[in-house]
Amino acid sequence: MRITVSHDVFRLAQVFTISRGSRTEAKVLTVQVTDGTHTGWGECVPYARYDETLESVTAEIENLPEHVTRAALYDMLPAGAARNAVDCALWDLEAKRAGNRAWELAGLPAPGPEITAYTLSLDTPENMQAQAAEHAHRPLLKIKLGTPDDMPRLEAVRAGAPDAKIIIDANEGWSAEVYADLAPHLVRLGVALVEQPLPAGEDEALIGMERPVPVCADESCHDRASLPKLKGKYDVINIKLDKAGGLTEALALRSEGLAQGYDIMIGCMVGSSLAMAPAVLLAQGAMVTDLDGPLLLAEDRDTPLLFDEKGVHPSDVGLWG
């Protein structure tokens, strides 16, 4: 069995900005695992927030032994982008070898479409209102905030999309005091969820704090080992394949999170349809699905996921699984 990794770049449909910076393209790693007859595919997005680079993740993957299994992979690599791409490629390979779909191998019911959030890029209030108006037909909008001037932006988005459900991602950009001040306004404006309001290392302040809007752990939640530190702080956990280190761990994290009383959000980095395809299996019945990466791209894989009024659909066998 041979593992290969390549760098791919997908142009974004427009400049995408969050509180940490802007980008015009998605840089991803594509992994192929080949046994000589079948080839499995996976994708990951190395993330600087977690000290990952294209080069460091490539090295992790290239240092793996040729005949690695999903079970062995868990002990060879930490949770993160490298393990994710290889794990998902192995799932795809196993499905092709068995002649079954990946969800059948996982013991899951056949998946259906799930409504996904559409993310609005951070911009001036005027431009964000225009973005919101353009996408007001979408049932769920996500706003990237985390700056000192968030209220005018939120008010502008609500004005542009008065009927859409809104969730907020603060990207660790608020203090406890800012969040407490904003919370009543979030309720007034009908915000349904707040993602990671405080820095991951400073979220102890959430314990005992009134949370009139559900608070979701993103940077504070990676895999099952993260769960003990979330108690009393969060209502929802955001599961991302690149954080969890693959579909295998993400499925286990979802089960354990539900057992501990958390609602589930399924999120993504900005990547192609190949990166989203395994996450669609996770998203079934989730409180929030946020798998809009391909919608932000100007180009995608040859067999992209289908997005329509029903949401994001499960992948075709030509893509993954």
Residue 301 DSSP symbol: -
Helix/strand/coil (H/E/C) assignment for every residue in 51-108: CCCHHHHHHHHHCCCCCCCHHHHHHHCCCCHHHHHHHHHHHHHHHHHHCCCHHHHCCC
Q: For the chain, how many residues are written?
A: 321
E strands in the chain: 2-18, 21-34, 39-44, 118-120, 140-144, 165-169, 191-195, 215-217, 236-239, 263-266, 288-289, 307-308, 311-312
Task: Give CA–CA dist 213/60, Å, rounded.
Answer: 39
Count of C-beta atoms within a 10 Å radius of residue 192: 14
User: Whole-angstrom Cα distance, residue 15 to residue 146?
Assistant: 18
The Cα–Cα gap between 253 and 258 comes to 8
Q: Is 214 helix (H, G, I), strand (E, B) or coil?
A: coil
Tokens 């690599």 correspond to: 77
pLDDT at 19: 65
**pLDDT at res. 1:** 87
pLDDT along the chain (321 residues), means of 10: 96 82 91 97 96 97 94 96 98 98 97 97 92 96 88 95 95 91 92 96 93 96 98 97 98 98 97 98 98 97 97 97 96
pLDDT digits (tens, 9 = 90+) for 174-227: 999 999 999 999 999 999 999 999 999 999 999 999 899 999 999 999 999 999
Which positions are annotated as active-site residues?
Answer: 144, 240
Task: List CB contacts of 246: < 8 A, sequence separation 6 or more.
Answer: 70, 73, 83, 84, 85, 86, 87, 88
**Which tokens is 166 given?**
């809104």
Q: How far apart are CA 2 and CA 64, in angstroms?
A: 10
Match 């290889």 to its residue by tokens: 86
Which helix (DSSP H) or strand (DSSP E) does residue 158 occupy? helix 150-160
CA distances from 320 to 78, 196, 243, 274 (A): 23, 30, 20, 7
pLDDT value at residue 149: 83
pLDDT at 148 (0 to 100) = 78
